[in-house]
Structure 1
């Protein structure tokens, strides 16, 4: 036998690491402009430009419901918001928020 030893070549172990989701601000939920949790943690009652009122999830272009009068939209918005445990923002006809209801994840403990 010769004095040289033959070593079997062994491939180095390859470890795969999952890459984090990077969307560079394309997803509104992770954008620097979103406040707190995700923008989807709110529901809004907003005036529809073609008349009536819409219930929308925060950041969504589609409405969850369309109503002829504001009170019906607010009632449905409260129902959806309670089920999803989100905040409900009720807008005035001019688009500004006139009222806000919290239906879960309220960080404050109010005594009394």
Structure 2
């Protein structure tokens, strides 16, 4: 698995993400987990395994392919994958802010 960190800046596009819940960096961890840091310093781990392997995974089901899961990137402060899947940054910020770890429910 990749452990590269993706950091987002939009200076060249003229767009500046200023909301504190924007994702600043993400690192792929083993077992369908991500380490994320928000612009306001809130940081934690997001475990996506229950969602990805759920019968109701929808667009997230294709992330079972580790190669695709590892292609997570940050677009305008949002965790996004090439298949169009993304995570609501407000929800993510709220959940990891409660205790530093979030296991996304099925």
TM range (shorter): under 0.3
Structure with greater helix share of residues:
2
Q: TM-score, normalised by structure 2?
A: 0.27
More RCO (CA 8 Å, sep 6+): 2
Q: TM-score, normalised by structure 1?
A: 0.26
